[in-house]
Structure 1
Amino acid sequence: MENFRNESDLLGTLQVPANAYYGVQTQRAIENFKISGQYLSSYPHFIRGLAMVKKAAAKTNYELGLLEESLYQKIAQSCDELMEGKFHKEFPIDMIQGGAGTSVNMNANEVIANIVLEKLGKEKGDYQFCSPNDHINLSQSTNDAYPTAIKMALLQMNKELVEKLKKTIAAFRHKGVEFNDVIKMGRTQLQDAVPMTMGQEFEAYAATLEEDISKLNNNAHLFVEINMGATAIGTGINAPVGYAKLCAKNLAQISGYPVVSAPNLVEATPDTGSYVIYSSAMKRLAVKLSKICNDLRLLSSGPRAGFFEINLPPMQPGSSIMPGKVNPVIPEVVNQVCYKVFGNDLTVTFAAEAGQLQLNVMEPVLSHAIMESMNFLGNALDTLREKCIVGITANKEICLNMVKHSIGIVTALNPYIGYKNSTEIAKEALATGNSVYNLVLEKGILSQEKLDEILDPKNMLKPHQF
């Protein structure tokens, strides 16, 4: 008994660890929700988001005359400490839970209240001096504080994800410059197409990923619209006049994001459209990233029986039975992360659709799916850049040799000798093993000088006048 304190709620009395800053409702959530094994404490941006919201709420309540200055200052200081990364182990509840986020909201309320009590020289759990409900949750409901905290978390996480994406783009672009003189065959439908440079190929990877920076940022901007002051369902019951807009103003100042109050709080409270569209932007990025990793695995296949155009950095032995085998483990793991993002996007879709009437109770799994995808994608981007992209090398001679012996270069002859002649030469080259070059000369279709000019790989890399 010395290691516990008794706290009570609607359902009765429960023992809480004596040194814990959380309280009875958090303890119930710990016991009720043993689901994912991923805890609120694993998502520091979420805890910072909760602290921002609670500080903004306290500031608003103080400015509207509902909180005494001394208590407001203690609450603000406690929230600042959470934003600095302190006390995060005091958020031990599972990210997936019933109750539409009530456990998360109360976890924050209890921790902040007990930090305040400690500053006041009081015992933990002595809530007559600072109550989780009456002071920390004043003028709020889980239904406005919880989704607002999620949005503050996602804004922070988006900023970090975009920075990681920019670094990966820069790494691909650097390789594009490095491989600018490596001539190779381009392929369509896994068949020889026309020549290109490996630099063009890697620059294209950079360009396609670069498009997603604006998609992520534009969709994340939807998170700045919040429903603080909505309280339970958007009518604002138990919140004072002017609370919604003032709280949004204070949260903007605290968070540094251009937060605004939603024009219709009844609409905003159950709405999860911003989550859906942001998740779709991550899925778009994951689709592109997975396609690129498929390419890297294919281009590095071999070393004797594959493309072997590039070498990926060897990261670990590839087999327990085949000596000398080294597998493309980094692109493989990034592929798997992308599949996880695809699945999480479907979870977000179902969870958003499941909203009923004035509330969406599925926000815990929805927010967890998005945050997990953001964490996974960020880690995958770092891993791909650091352990794969920067160390890729090109097999220049192999690439050039493939161009010289490819049937695909006949495409370059099409404007000069016509489609029919080009087709016949390609067919004969394929059947006999003879080269396109030799067949054109043998048939006297073009002079060697003209043929050399046309089939110079460097002349086949961009448009030109005929």
Structure 2
Amino acid sequence: MMSKFRTESDSLGPVKIPLAAAWGSQTQRALENFPITGVSISHYPELITGLASVKKACALANRDLGALPAEKAAAIAGICDEIIGGRHHDQFVIDVMQGGAGTSTNMNVNEVIANLGLKMLGADFGAYGRLHPNDDVNRSQSTNDVYPTAIRLAVLSRITPLIEAMHGLTNSFGIKASEFQHITKVGRTQLQDAVPMPLGAEFRGYATTINEDADRLCDLSRLLTEVNLGGTAIGTGINAPAHFGEAAVAHLREITGEPLQLAPDLIEASSDLGAFVMFSSTLKRVGIKLSKICNDLRLMSSGPRAGIGEIILPAVQAGSSIMPGKVNPVIPEVVNQVCYQAIGNDLTVTMAAEAGQFQLNAMEPVIIHKVLETMGSLTSAMNVLRTRCVDGIVADEERCQFLLSNSLVQVTALAPVIGYEAATKLAKYAQANGLSLQSAALPALPEELAETALKHLQGRIPENA
């Protein structure tokens, strides 16, 4: 039988690699060293596209500066175009969680581009004398400027669908706000009856709070357009020709369409992950707000008969294997869980950003894993919340009116009219005797104050009960 493996050698010795695999020895070692999450780097196609974009930009810059022959630059750029177009992503196989500050990811990309480039040039995999992963594909580069640049591109590419999901949810809440504006309900603080409010105003508040963070995420994403490409290992530009960073970033702007700029201090930019900390923190803020909204929706829809029951959520699936007819608020529940994940991921990003030492932070792999995970989950969750829940919410007007009529929330509006002490006395009497404010006014207050209170309350809360 023919061997299903080929052998390559590196500084640690020979390595067996599957015959059809386009990767090389360092990727194979990383496969064996990091069986951690089961999530490969190709799970995030934006990351692979970002890496290929960087490699193409660097090849073109090296060509322009006379550091790489045109034939090799063309082969590298051609394979990068195929990867950017969605091909060969199955060759990016290593676990997203890895030691080495992303070196294994960078080498996976270098080796795949080199071997596919060799095939394009009519050579065999592993014939690195013709096109080498380090000497050619990685020329004038280091993992320490390639990887940070690529992960920024990956996040930037996910901004648009995230913002679109936020705006879509904002719009749905806005539609419901208009639809429910004529309905007055009990407003609550600390789960206790507080003051009357329009149900529409409650939903308008949800729209506003999501929309304002969409603006903040757009603003913060601009921090990610500053890159350290050309700084190589620690920002000094060692092993790169003069003006390589400027040339590479110019090509990368053209390739990606992003307004990228070279960091003014490459040493600082090679170790600082502050932009990711701020961006992740805002993702957490979105998650916190979204979870609070889902808590409200679950409480307002609780019942259907023994809870608050002011709104009715769409019934999307049976709620119990034992209780017939039970329907649960499963969409807000799943969104809550996504939000908890976002909060936890932000703590991971925070700790990883803090863990850098001197001129490099080795924890970038977990940072990009968690930021992209959060962005993807929040995007999907908001789309599901919009289409499977918010768009189909119905208000129970009768229930809202019943709760309002039997509450004591109008007493707050009476305080400036009859005085705080008299209003308190009225509320306590009504609560103790199970009466509405109107019914309690005459027995609880002096006649003159009672008449003033009734006149003020007239028409505000119809006597339904």
TM-score range, shorter chain: over 0.9
Deviation at 1:283, TM superposition (A): 0.6
Number of aligned residues: 457
Deviation at 1:449, TM superposition (A): 7.7
Counterpart AA for 2:147: Y
Match of 1:450 in 2: 455
How far apart, CA to CA, are the structure 1 residues paired with 2:128 and 2:142?
19
Deviation at 1:2, TM superposition (A): 2.7
Match of 1:175 in 2: 176
Residue 83 (structure 1) aligned with residue 88 (structure 2): no
Counterpart AA for 1:446: E
Cα root mean square deviation, aligned: 1.5
SS across alignment from 1:446: helix
Match of 2:352 in 1: 351
How far apart, CA to CA, are the structure 1 residues paired with 2:163 and 2:23?
34
Residue 435 (structure 1) aligned with residue 440 (structure 2): no
How far apart, CA to CA, are the structure 1 residues paired with 2:80 and 2:230?
19
Match of 1:117 in 2: 118
Please say if residues 418 and 453 of structure 2, whose CA atoms lie closer than 8 Å, have aligned partners that are also in contact.
no
**1:271-327: CA deviations, max 9, x gaps?**
111111111010110010010011011111111111011111112221222222111
**1:225-280: CA deviations, max 9, x gaps?**
11111111111110000011221122111111111111111111111111111110
Match of 1:203 in 2: 204
Match of 2:278 in 1: 277
How far apart, CA to CA, are the structure 2 residues paired with 1:450 and 1:246?
78
How far apart, CA to CA, are the structure 1 residues paired with 2:31 and 2:93?
7
Counterpart AA for 1:363: E
Match of 2:408 in 1: 407
Please say if residues 186 and 196 of structure 1, whose CA atoms lie closer than 8 Å, have aligned partners that are also in contact.
yes
Structure 1 stretches lacking a partner, 5+ long: 458-466
Deviation at 1:188, TM superposition (A): 0.7
Deviation at 1:23, TM superposition (A): 1.4
SS across alignment from 2:360: coil
How far apart, CA to CA, are the structure 1 residues paired with 2:263 and 2:453?
73
Residue 129 (structure 1) aligned with residue 130 (structure 2): yes
How far apart, CA to CA, are the structure 1 residues paired with 2:454 and 2:113?
82
How far apart, CA to CA, are the structure 1 residues paired with 2:170 and 2:104?
40
| Matched ranges for 1:359-374 at <5 A | 359-374=360-375
| Matched ranges for 1:219-234 at <5 A | 219-234=220-235
How far apart, CA to CA, are the structure 2 residues paired with 1:383 and 1:59?
42
| Matched ranges for 1:63-74 at <5 A | 63-74=64-75
How far apart, CA to CA, are the structure 2 residues paired with 1:435 and 1:231?
75
Structure 2 stretches lacking a partner, 5+ long: none
Counterpart AA for 1:16: I
Match of 1:29 in 2: 30
SS across alignment from 1:6: strand
Deviation at 1:108, TM superposition (A): 0.8
Match of 2:376 in 1: 375
Residue 340 (structure 1) aligned with residue 377 (structure 2): no
How far apart, CA to CA, are the structure 1 residues paired with 2:212 and 2:458?
37
TM-score under structure 2 normalisation?
0.95
Change in CA separation of 1:410 and 1:448 when aligned onto 2, cut-off 3 Å: closer
**1:110-132: CA deviations, max 9, x gaps?**
11112211211221221121111
**1:384-424: CA deviations, max 9, x gaps?**
11211111111111001111111111112222211111111
Please say if residues 310 and 400 of structure 2, whose CA atoms lie closer than 8 Å, have aligned partners that are also in contact.
yes
How far apart, CA to CA, are the structure 2 residues paired with 1:275 and 1:6?
40
Deviation at 1:446, TM superposition (A): 2.3
Counterpart AA for 2:341: K
**1:117-163: CA deviations, max 9, x gaps?**
12112212211211111111010000100111000101111222111
Counterpart AA for 2:345: N
How far apart, CA to CA, are the structure 2 residues paired with 1:101 and 1:407?
62
Q: Give the ranges of 4+ consecutive aligned residues of structure 1 lying more than 4 Å apart after TM superposition.
A: none
SS across alignment from 2:410: helix
How far apart, CA to CA, are the structure 2 residues paired with 1:64 and 1:456?
80
